[in-house]
Amino acid sequence: MHITAKVLMTTIGLTGADFALATDDEKGFLQGSHANLLARSLYFNQDPHNAAAPHSDTEDASQGFIFKYRSGFTEGPIGAGLDAYGLLGLKLDNGGGRDRWPTIPADEQSTSEAGAAIKLRAGQTTLKYGDQFVSIPVLATMMGRLLPETAQGTLIHSDDIPGLSLDVGRFTAMGSQFNARHDGKDLTRANVVGGRYSFNENLNAGLYYSNVADNFEKRYADLSWKAPLGSADTLKTDFNLYRTTGLGAQLSGQVDNVIWSLSSAWKHGPHTLMAAFQKSSGETGYAYGVDGGSAVWLANSVQYSDFMEKDEASWQARYDFDFAGLGLPGLNAMVLYIRGQHIDNGTVDDGKEWERNINLRYVVQSGSAKDLGFQLRHASHRSSALGNSLDELRLIMDYPLDLF
């Protein structure tokens, strides 16, 4: 097992709110300690419908383990703590050699990483340094497959001002989700700064900026508003905007893009209906990846496509149902359809694409298997401009265990 001799912040899918969980930490270094293990089983199948290469589909089955330990903070004006983590991925089946887009490197049977972290806190401000799992709009690691991406660097988060959360960070490497041991994103330096302000419990806004050396710089803004509509209904509206321009050697290619999305979701009892519109403009499409596989906080970024090509306009219709309303708590279903048009790829100037996603998820609510989760995710994507025509299936089983 490869040991990463860097400090680590170890919360999967980390958000600013995770920094503020100080209640247990106030108990002290040992008394505030927590450890948990997530066992994830993943089956992945992607069929590109390639008539010229009928056996070009991808198939992969793997087992992952994500261990997290988080201590509390020592007493005093500046508290110190220690985090530790371990990632292990095991290949179960490579589909008879069809793991062309593998969860684990094609020439290996396993991938692993472990590390430890130090952290400092003064008041409601926390500093952490190392291989982190980060979730902010301009730098966000992905947990969409077996193991998470990691971002190596420093992140300071502050909640000292009521209603305002601030983030300042500098990162020097990004690890790929396809190999826990290697830096697969070619990131050399990314500086990020931004924050979010809550005007009240129903209205908040965010502003962020990033400078990714020799790739691009990004400016991001969002606004989220939730309006109660009586005792059983709510209407939630979200606006997201990125402005991205190339920088230095432009290793991500030429980038000059503005992209925004507007979505509105009406929730009535177990039903949720959402509609969204997204528009890309500028000399190129939107670019991300070197700054994390989830650095695309847009309404029409879904299982396969992000609908972010040059000049593309896309709309979405989505329906969610919570079966708790029928006496089946823990069971949820979702279906969505997105259609994009006006894609300019240099060959055609009115290309089109569409995607349909179906998601079914169940989490055991009680008993010895409590919190065991099963998820089926299916995507169908077709495009007349991008040359993509595929169906993708992911079967995921998650079993989280609280160790102490």
Question: What is the distance between the alpha carbons of residues 241 and 261, in angstroms, rounded to a whole number?
Answer: 7
What confidence score (pLDDT) does residue 84 get?
Answer: 84
The least confident of 49-63, 135-149, 382-396 is 49-63
Q: 332 and 244, same structural domain?
A: yes
What confidence score (pLDDT) does residue 98 get?
Answer: 60
Q: 403 and 343, same structural domain?
A: yes
Q: 5 and 81, same structural domain?
A: yes
Which residues lie closer than 8 Å to 260 by C-beta, 6 or more apart? Answer: 239, 240, 241, 242, 278, 279, 298
What confidence score (pLDDT) does residue 55 get?
Answer: 56
Q: Has residue 391 been placed in a domain? A: yes
Residue 177 or 31, more confident: 31
pLDDT (tens digit, 9 = 90+) per residue, 292-311?
A: 999 999 999 999 999 999 99
Q: 392 and 257, same structural domain?
A: yes
Element of type H or E holding 19: helix 16-19
Q: What φ, ψ does residue 25 adopt, rounded to 5°?
A: -65, -25
Whole-number average pLDDT of the chain: 87
- What average pLDDT score do residues 260-274 get? 97
Question: What is the distance between the alpha carbons of residues 219 and 255, in angstroms, rounded to a whole number?
Answer: 13
This prediction has a pTM of: 0.89
Structural domain boundaries enclosing 307: 186-404
**Domain limit, last residue, from 129, 163, 197:** 163
Q: What angle do CA 402, 403, 404 make, to 5 degrees?
A: 95
- Find the largest Cα–Cα distance for the chain: 67
Per the CB < 8 A criterion, the answer to whether 340 and 310 are in contact is no
Residue 88 or 21, more confident: 88
Question: What is the distance between the alpha carbons of residues 338 and 343, in angstroms, rounded to a whole number?
Answer: 14
Number of separate domains in the chain:
2
Q: 77 and 121, same structural domain?
A: yes
What confidence score (pLDDT) does residue 110 get?
Answer: 86
Q: 197 and 155, same structural domain?
A: no
pLDDT (tens digit, 9 = 90+) per residue, 364-404?
A: 999 999 999 999 999 999 998 777 789 999 999 999 999 99
What confidence score (pLDDT) does residue 4 get?
Answer: 30
The least confident of 91-105, 144-158, 227-241, 364-378 is 91-105
Q: Has residue 170 been placed in a domain? A: no
Question: What is the distance between the alpha carbons of residues 195 and 189, in angstroms, rounded to a whole number?
Answer: 20
What confidence score (pLDDT) does residue 127 get?
Answer: 94
Per the CB < 8 A criterion, the answer to whether 249 and 213 are in contact is no
The least confident of 30-39, 145-154, 288-297 is 145-154
Question: What is the distance between the alpha carbons of residues 373 and 360, in angstroms, rounded to a whole number?
Answer: 11
DSSP line for 171-238: EEEEE-TT-TTSB-S----EEEEEEEEEEETTEEEEEEEEEETTTEEEEEEEEEEEEEETTTEEEEEE
Residue 229 or 306, more confident: 306
pLDDT level of residue 109 (50, 70, 90 thresholds): confident
- What average pLDDT score do residues 209-233 get? 94
DSSP line for 24-44: TGGG-TTTT-EEEEEEEEEEE
Look up the CATH number of the domain holding residue 144: 2.40.160.10
pLDDT level of residue 20 (50, 70, 90 thresholds): very low
Q: 198 and 120, same structural domain?
A: no
Q: 220 and 308, same structural domain?
A: yes
- Residue 215 pLDDT greater than 90, yes or no: yes
Residue 181 or 169, more confident: 169
Residue 3 or 323, more confident: 323
What confidence score (pLDDT) does residue 380 get?
Answer: 97
What confidence score (pLDDT) does residue 27 get?
Answer: 74
